[in-house]
Structure 1
Amino acid sequence: MRGFASRAIHGQPPFKRDVHGALRFPVYDSAAFEVGSSRELELAFTGRKPSHSYTRITNPTVEEFEQKVRLLTGSFAVVAVASGMAAITETVLALCESGSNIVTSPYLFGNTTSLFESTLKRWGLEVRKASMADPSSLEGVIDDKTRMVFLEIISNPQMEVADISEICRVAKQKNVPVVLDGTLSTPYIFRSKEAGVAVEIISSTKYMSGGATSTGGLIIDNGTFNWKQHPAVADDALKVGPAAFATRLRREIHRNLGSCLAPHNAWLQSLGLETLALRMEKSCTNALEVATFLESSLQILHVNYSGLTSSPFHATALAQFGKRFGGLLTFELSSKEECFNLMDSLKMIKRATNLNDNKTLILHPASTIFCDYNAKEREEMLVNDRMIRLSVGIEDVQDIIDDLKQGLEKL
């Protein structure tokens, strides 16, 4: 099989040739598609014949993007949606019902926590917390109502790195699928299928889009879980076998929610895939150098980055990711005021949310993406007023360090 970058650019033989010889797959900006007969339209709507009929359900440009991701991940099926949050929502609604529970980490992205504990809890979903740093803790939390174990590959912004293979091993003993948010690693750094992950979710808005050109999300069924063992899709599995989860998404959840990926966004993200390997390499290399610089600075109280040997997660990250530790890090100053002063003094680094915009982005998590939580709740989530999050871009690394240096000198 060809390498990651070659597959991202060329795909795998046999290659499809555009009727006009275009090297870039076209954008099908059309809501509806005509078929040859009434009978064919019936077959398309009943799922008995693959065919595009309406973009809310499927679209040729979106399908091209999905197939590229499927090739790069070696997965069974991929469904592309409007955002990373849409991907998480669709997955939960496909696998859970009122009265069931999910087991997750206390350390999650703020919006994900809000989705689980506010939005979906009101509809009867129970959220249970367990330490992902201690996979054995899952055993006492999972029961016959547990429908999934959910965690982030690198928790944002706490930077915890769990042993994914061990978590999958424990969950498999309980016949519960592991759903992993792999946004911060991407398939270039971490092969979730090989670790035993059932479903990987990615916000393709981030690293995959090629520079924050568009929003998007991916639901990746790795084909590692026997869906006949899952109460929510067991009936579907009797009919369509391994395609049960993907079929439930396509035929019900995705279709009914309407959170479809725009064709133009799919086209932009297909283009972004072609440079993913290059950009991830640069971002990871830059992040390690920046983290090393920050750790040596007297004004910095603490740096959280698994690439540093001082990180409690360094050994786990090294085993899972090799020498690529991602492009996100956090560090702490003495106060919120110092954090704001540093951020306001920067000249190149941008004060903005998002991860990997090609540009380096800086954020104060407690006052932004965790602003809906009180001080006690933030403390429990390890998000304090002294924390700064830095998404390291692909600029010349010395320019990033010089900008931070001149800002720190003004404190």
Structure 2
Amino acid sequence: MEEIGFESKILHTPFEKKDAYNSLSMPVYYTAAYEFDTAEAMEEAFCGRTTDHAYSRITNPTVQYFEDRIQAITGALSVTAFNSGMAAISNMLMTIASSGCNIITSPHLFGNTYSMMKSTLGDFNVETRFCDLTNLKETENAIDENTCAIFLEVITNPQMEVADLKALASICHKKGIPLIADTTILPFHIFKAKDFGVDIEIVSSTKYISGGATSLGGLVLDYGTFDWNKSKKLSGMSKQYGNKTFTAKLRKEIHRNLGAYMTPQAAYMQTLGLETMEVRFNRQASTCLDLAERIKSLDGIERVNYTGLKDNPYYKLSTEQFGSKPGAMFTFDLTSRDACFSFMNKLKLIRRATNLFDNKTLAIHPASTIFGTFTEEQRKSMDISQKTIRLSVGLESAHDLYNDIKQALAR
């Protein structure tokens, strides 16, 4: 039989061990510890010489099965599941960064990611160099012998900026540093990170994967494509672990010590959500494009920002990298902050809430919420406008969503 496709791999990834009751769904192993037959078997497990589970802060059968499914559909060398997207980012950064190094990134980052890099890592003497990643010359010039990675969001939230990933990957690999990308805004069947030179992929599985905001989660995918002998921090380990060096550092030390592994209940819900992800996304993305095109002509809307629109400055590059439906989120600008608040207060169907890719459509004013604790100067440097509304499109009909937006704009 020929190799099965993406949809079938999600549904038919086998369990590591046969279930005692032949369950079609991986059971929830809500346990902290596991019994061993002998002291010798216990030693082997705790020292990592077998795949037996020892303690659920480190590995768990339900979480492992979720990781196995993600690995099967992405072709990643390894997948590690965490209890949030920010936990995935922080564990990744603690794996690659050390005092005295620097990370190249864009100022166009999600608020907590920006804060993590600017403030939290700064306290540990890790420098973050913010530059325009769409300017390849500026980006390359920012790299020096202490640079440990380039990090970016493939479509920035909420600025909707798109960088040339293959060009950035070329720069990274010429300079001997990994390219690390947060791809949360796009599901795996739309964007295959490895094909664009991404070495480490970060995903907030809270979004598309969870199946309608059922649970929190984050993923770190290591594609095994980077030569870690070129890393100042990890070169010593690379002699033993080769292309598995990043995974070894992450799994054997960082995630164990920080204690942010995904819970089995979240893994169970996200495994179920994964099964319907493609169907839900196709509906959401189609509605998103339709809605973005339709509201452009409404009075009171100054601009609609979605890279799937032909008049968007990133349309060509976005289409080349992500296809015709680049996610289920767009932003639009009204005339002022007051207009945004008035609009949101009049919404009847669309929910006023944070999060992305819930089954329900969600609206938020990023400047006063996600970036609300930033100074106005910081917001300007990050291109966060007081006039912007972010819309995460759910499973409602485009007609109903359009009518809600239209009535909320009415004076």
**TM tier, smaller:** over 0.9
- 2 CA distance for matches of 1:383 and 1:165? 27
Q: Where does residue 135 of structure 2 map in the other structure? A: 134
Whole-Å Cα distance in 1 between the matches of residues 374 and 18 of structure 2?
52
**3-state SS of the aligned residue for 1:404?**
helix
Aligned equivalents of 2:24 and 2:57: distance in 1?
26
Per-residue deviation, 1:306: 0.2
Partner of 1:7: 9
Aligned residue for 1:162, secondary structure, equals coil
- Code of the residue aligned with 1:234 in structure 2: it is S
Aligned-partner Cα distance in 2 for 1:229–1:210: 39
Counterparts of 1:372 and 1:335 in 2: how far apart (Å)? 19
Tell me the alpha carbon deviations over residues 251-274 of structure 1, each in whole angstroms, 9 at most, x when there is no partner. 110000001110000010011100
Helix, strand or coil: the match of 2:209?
helix
Q: Cα distance, 1:383 vs. partner?
A: 0.6
TM-score normalised to structure 2 length: 0.97
Per the alignment, residue 34 of structure 2 pairs with 33
Flag structure 2 segments of 5+ consecutive residues without an equivalent: none
Aligned partner of 1:176 in structure 2 is 177
Q: Aligned-pair distance for 1:134?
A: 2.1
* 1:217-263 CA distance string (max 9 Å, x none): 00000111112221222222211222111111111100000011100
For the 8 Å contact 1:330–1:388, the answer to whether it is kept is yes
| Alpha-carbon distance between aligned partners in 1 of 2:355 and 2:288, rounded to the nearest angstrom | 16
TM-score normalised according to structure 1 size: 0.97
Q: Within 5 A, what are the aligned runs for 1:107-256?
A: 107-256=108-257
What is the Cα-based RMSD across aligned positions, in Å? 1.3
1:305 aligns with 306
How far apart, in 1, do the equivalents of 2:34 and 2:227 lie? 34
Q: Is 1:66 aligned to 2:67, yes or no?
A: yes
Residues 14-29 of structure 1 mapped to structure 2, 5 A cutoff: 17-29=18-30
Contact 1:301 1:334 in 2 (8 A): yes
C-alpha distance in 2 between matches for 1:379 and 1:170: 28
How far apart are 1:47 and its partner, in Å?
Answer: 1.4
2:58 pairs with 1:57: yes
Give the number of aligned pairs.
409
C-alpha contact (below 8 Å) 2:229/2:236 kept by paired residues: yes
Provide the secondary structure at the position in 2 that maps to 1:187: coil
State the SS of the aligned residue for 1:179: strand
Tell me which amino acid in the other structure corresponds to 1:341: S
| Conserved 8 A contact 1:103-1:146 | yes
**Structure 2 letter corresponding to 1:10:** H
Cα shift readout 1:46-97 (whole Å, capped 9, x = no counterpart) = 1122210000000000000001001111110000011100111001110010
Counterpart Cα distance in 2 of 1:38 and 1:334: 69
Amino acid at match of 1:266: A
Map 1:271-290 → 2, pairs under 5 A: 271-290=272-291
Match of 2:271 in 1: 270
Summarize deviations over 1:138-177 as a string: whole Å, max 9, x none: 2100111000100001100000011111111111100100
Question: Which shifted more, 70-79 or 16-25?
Answer: 16-25
Q: Is 1:105–1:132's contact at 8 Å kept on the other side of the alignment? A: yes
